[in-house]
Amino acid sequence: MYRYDSIDHTIVQARVAQFRDQTRRYLANELSEDEFRPLRLQNGLYIQRHGPMLRIAVPYGLLSARQLRTLADVTRRYDEGVGHFTTRQNLQLNWVKLPQVPDLLADLADAELHAIQTSGNCIRNITTDHFAGVAADEIADPRPWAELLRQWSTFHPEFAYLPRKFKVAISGSREDRTALLVHDLGLQLVRNDGGELGFAVYAGGGLGRTPLLASKLNDFLPWQHLLTYCEALLRVYNRFGRRDNAYKARIKILVKAVGSEEFARQVDAEWAHLKDGPSTLTEAEVDRVAAQFAAPNYENLASEDLCHVAFQREDKAYARWVERNVHAHRVPGYAAVTLSLKKPGASPGDATSAQMEEAAELAERFSFGEIRVSHEQNLILADVPQRDLYTIWQRAKATGLASPTVGLLADLICCPGGDFCSLANAKSLPIAEAVLDRFADLDYLHDIGEIELNISGCVNSCGHHYLGAIGILGVDKHGEEWYQITMGGAQGNAAVIGETIGPSFAAADVPDVIEQLIETYLVRRHVDERFSDTVRRIGLEPFRTSVYSNTTSQRRSANA
């Protein structure tokens, strides 16, 4: 992975010093709340219900074991020992104290970690595929490009005060695992007919109050022009994005207002002046960065480890875990493993310091010392020899990291919601926990099969509810918390924004409603038909009927 040189270190340390001074001035009343807010946000610091929340960047979701130990350590020392991994591959701490944040950032900086631009109206952490570098369907490794963009966007002087936040995702594989089309800017690595590498560029996607899928601006942007093109695009957005209304300020509103063709034309007109300028990438620089993501020294292994095969025959629980949590790897004899952060009784995406340390230990012993965070809020060991899978499973089980439910209903995505977040209209974690409790039976979960259940505590949609086959959105009605259900959403290449099925429900009824939807599916499905395929085939009506018909229950649903 990318290691800092002395310049990278200097820049991150200068940031710590800068933020230490800003915090000092704020605490000494030399900076007003209004002046301090944008500054602390650009360092990932929110003031939440219980005090500050710090969002630490995990650039493109990649961590060394040492970095994960540092995260475990700061989580224990500055927080209460539990961190929350987010849908943008970052880590949030909910109980930090403002005067200690500069020290926390200094500890992070020592491990080449930071909280730069994890919030605020600027270019945010760049996310990518959690199987980058190991996926069989990879066109090119997205991580070097993500690192190049990380450097370019870090303290970009022109784009520190954009109309609104700006999220970038990069995918290097055929199957999209980055939710590319719901990003402000989505970059898909492609090869042209001549075999040259470039990007298909998508812009204007996003969830929130106006969910929209990104439009394609450019079929093939040669890699050399990545930075100049991004600079042109951001400049058009910075100058012409709306600033009069925060809900209309994302780039998606601008792209929609002028039309994607006209927007692309404006970007091209700006780019014409920047193209081939000094920011044009060089082969030497791409090679320098790419070399740091070179494949590890894989052993020559048989494509199938016989012990691993035998264990699956003998141990049904192991086989089940392998079926869900072990993923194909492009190198024979290797696999990628999901360490699940979802289980009954815990908030999705939460990891204790002890769990982080165990995951770091597993990474060190079995996966070349690296670990990834997925946007589905799990941890990934990307390079594991099959012969070690059984040991990993046993150890993960002992630490609560082995829920065999990846891709199933219990692998739900959830934001921190009203328990922590001051933007939220409603709590989301208790809903997630109630659903996890209701669907705790593994046989039942495996019978239901693959389904994405996504929960957001407000329309900002951090829990990606619109992309869930079933989405749950917390809404506020006259001071009460209600939950709206969306269905038909999908992520990936064929992303679809889900549709609201009807009036919202009280919190206590949500598990019943979800169960009703699932029962409808189980009755109506064809053999081997996934939930989302059944929904596509029979439409939403049977599901609506099942939850809103008078006979089903006496549950309250809000008048919409």
Partner 1 sequence: MRNLQTRRLIKERRLQEDVWKVVTLIDGQPELDVCLPVGPLLVPVSVWKAKKACLIHREYEHGTPLGIWLSPEDDPAEIAKDVDDFTVIAVHFPKFTDGRGYSTARLLRERYGYDGELRAFGDIGRDQIFFLNRVGFDSFLIGEGRNAEEALAAFDDFPEAYQAGSDLPIPLFRRRAA
Note the residues at the interface with partner 1 (CB under 8 A). Answer: 5, 7, 10-11, 14-15, 18, 22, 30-31, 35, 38-39, 121, 151-152, 154-162, 227, 235, 238-239, 243, 273, 277-279, 281-282, 284-285, 288
Integer Cα distance of 268 and 264 in angstroms: 6
Q: Which is nearer to partner 1, 20 or 524 (CB)?
A: 20
Integer Cα distance of 382 and 377 in angstroms: 15
Q: Which is nearer to partner 1, 28 or 494 (CB)?
A: 28
Least distance (Å) between residue 143 CB and partner 1: 16
Least distance (Å) between residue 222 CB and partner 1: 17
Q: Which is nearer to partner 1, 282 or 551 (CB)?
A: 282
Least distance (Å) between residue 97 CB and partner 1: 22
Closest CA to 180 of 538, 544, 530, 467: 467
Q: Which is nearer to partner 1, 225 or 235 (CB)?
A: 235
Closest CA to 156 of 166, 141, 170: 166
Least distance (Å) between residue 158 CB and partner 1: 5
Q: Which is nearer to partner 1, 230 or 436 (CB)?
A: 230
3-state secondary structure of 189: strand
Can you state the percent helix, strand and coil of the chain, rounding each to 5? Answer: 40, 20, 40
Please give the span between the terminal C-alpha atoms of the chain, in angstroms, as a whole number. Answer: 50
Q: Which is nearer to partner 1, 127 or 238 (CB)?
A: 238
Least distance (Å) between residue 66 CB and partner 1: 24
How do 370-373 and 379-385 pair as beta strands? antiparallel
Q: Which is nearer to partner 1, 37 or 330 (CB)?
A: 37
| DSSP symbol at 213 | P
Least distance (Å) between residue 534 CB and partner 1: 47
| DSSP symbol at 507 | G
Burial (CB < 10 A; 0-12, 13-18, 19+), residue 261, is exposed
| Gyration radius from the chain CA atoms | 23
Angle at 464 between CA 376 and CA 173, to 5 degrees: 55
Least distance (Å) between residue 12 CB and partner 1: 10
